[in-house]
Amino acid sequence: MLAVPDPDAVIQLPWNKEIAWVPGNCVMEGEDVAQAPRNVLRRLIKEAADEGLHVKTGIEAEFFLLTPDGEEISDPFDNAEKPCYDQQAMMRRLDVIREISDYMLELGWGAYQNDHEDANGQWEMNWDFDDALATADKHSFFKFMAKSVAEKHGFRATFMPKPVEGLTGNGCHAHISVWDAPGADSRNNVFAADKGTGDIAELGLSEQGGWFLGGIMKHASALAAITNPTVNSYKRINAPRTMSGATWAPNTVTWTGNNRT
Domains of the chain: 2-190+228-236 (3.30.590.10)
pLDDT of residue 261: 60
Contact 107, 158 (CB under 8 A): no
pLDDT of residue 30: 94
pLDDT of residue 209: 93
pLDDT of residue 252: 83
pLDDT of residue 260: 63
Is the pTM for the entire model greater than 0.85?
yes
pLDDT of residue 100: 98
Average pLDDT per 10 consecutive residues for the chain, totaling 261 residues: 96 97 97 96 96 95 97 96 94 97 98 96 97 97 98 97 90 93 91 89 92 94 89 80 76 80 60
pLDDT of residue 241: 72
